[in-house]
Amino acid sequence: MRFSAVVPLWQLITVVAFTTCILLANIARLTLRIRSICQPIVNRQVERGVATVLLIQRIQHPILDIIFTSASVVVSVEFYTAFLPLLLWSGRCKLAIQMTLLMALCIYIGTFLKDLVSGSRPSAPPVRRFAATAIEKEACIEFGFPSSHAINTICLSVHLARHLDSTHIYVLWIAGFLLAITTAIVIYGRMYLGMHTPIDIIAGVIFGVILVTFWCFVDDRVNLFIEEGKNVFIFWTIICLLLLAAYPAPEKQTPSFEYHNAFVGVILGMVWGLRIGNYHYIRSALTIVHLNSWSGALVLVKRLVVGLPVVIAVKMITKLLAVTSLPWICLHIGLPVKSTTYVPALKGMIPVDTTEVDLELKKNSDSEKLLIDLKEINVEAPKYGDDVEGTKYGDDQKLPMATSEIDLERAEPLGPKNLNFWLKFFSLSLMEPLDVDTGIRLLQYAGLSWSAVGVSYIFKHFKI
């Protein structure tokens, strides 16, 4: 059997080219070079745009605060995780798949550019920044350029308008008008709430128009590839992992990468669900629901009642399995990991490579502790008589440490001689510990998306 029959040549070229670009960008430190050029320009335009924001904020009212805050939720991750399954369960399978892929692309491009440029938001004060919800408070931590709300709203509205189908012309006009009004409210509201200046909005609209125009040319081809293409499962998984690897390191820690990571998991789970299951069976199981009758609305309500608990349960179970297994797997293949949220034992700690360090067990009445030879991990041993955590140690004694962990305050980073094969293979220089939260978040959202597709078997069984 020819290799090209199993792996199409265009897939191989895509993966090799993508990987090469990532390596070259790391070698050339492309992120820092682009940021050094773009960031000063963007920040100057943001300072000039403050006057426009202050002009808009002259008219303030509690009702306007509620309207614009509510409108900003329309293109949040929480909105998509509810809207896209609803679109799928209403029987619009093709539209749901295309919308999910498009929104994932928009979120990736938006967050990628934010962290690449690391442009500031308008200063508050003098700008009044209104962040009443937890979503908006998280958004304040992100960088400002470009406005991801503008990108997402433009793409969402145009793509939905393109797929409106109705025999009544006035229905199409009303739907188009509502989409246009929603887009205007969201975009204007970003400046009213003090989150963006005109430069962010203009850039967001431009990128949104470019993305949705591009998507209109390729959406059917991408959909056909997912349905009937070769090697879809492996190719899509590799591309998603490369997207995570290609993400630029921001100037400071922001939640932008988490949003992108969640949606990479969503599209990964959706493709897994469609390929593992039979796409045509799933499409036939999810019969189209027409909401212009009580019977149609009742069918959709039944699907929501059955489907939502299943999706939530699968997400929770996937998260639990990932939290339990991922750190263990990484440690046993020699990858250093850390955690900022999901695994408290790994917060602020670097796991020690147990194949390189002499470990001895010492039992006491409380628990078992690992004894690590300080000379082999570049930590200076305390002199005899020094008091370390209330205990006396001699020159030939060893310092008890937490199991398989070393406190960052007491140890220097592991030198190149301690890098095992995996670290040397995956990094051109000293590799920082991997954040295991990335894998956990990826898997839990993949489980959520996979279950949203797979629940169609339950709908078919219950005939709803």
Which amino acids are annotated catalytic? Answer: 149, 196
Total H helices, total E strands in the chain: 17, 9
Q: How far apart are CA 370 and CA 363, in angstroms?
A: 9
Phi-psi region of 143 (alpha: psi -120 to 50; beta: other; left: phi over 0): beta
Find, among 64, 148, 69, the residue nearest to 110 by Cα: 148
Residue 104 · residue 239 · CB < 8 Å: no
**350-371 burial string, b = 16+ CB within 10 Å, else e?**
bbbbeeebeeeeeeeeeeebbb
Q: Rounded to whole angstroms, how far apart are CA atoms 266 and 88?
A: 13
- The SS3 assignment for 391 reads strand
The dihedral built from the CA positions of residue 65, 67, 72 and 76, taken in this order, carries a sign that is positive
Which residue matches tokens 């030939």?
396
Q: Which residues contact 84 (CB under 8 A, 6 or more apart)?
A: 96, 99, 100, 103, 266, 452
Strand-pairing partners, residue 372, are 359, 399
Rounded-to-integer distance, Cα 84 and Cα 445, Å = 13
Q: Please give the span between the terminal C-alpha atoms of the chain, in angstroms, as a whole number.
A: 44
Q: How far is CA 44 from the centre of its chain?
A: 29
Please list the helix, strand and coil fractions of the chain in percent, rounded to the nearest 5, in that order. 65, 5, 30
And the tokens for 331? Answer: 């440690």
Residue 144's φ and ψ, nearest 5 degrees, are -100, -30
Q: Any residues with CB less than 8 A from the CB of 350 and at least 6 apart, and which? A: 336, 338, 405, 406, 408, 411, 413, 414, 433
Of 277, 275, 265, 198, nearest to 460 by C-alpha is: 277
**Residue 412 and residue 393: Cα distance in Å, rounded?**
21
Q: Which two tokens stand for residue 292?
A: 């212009």
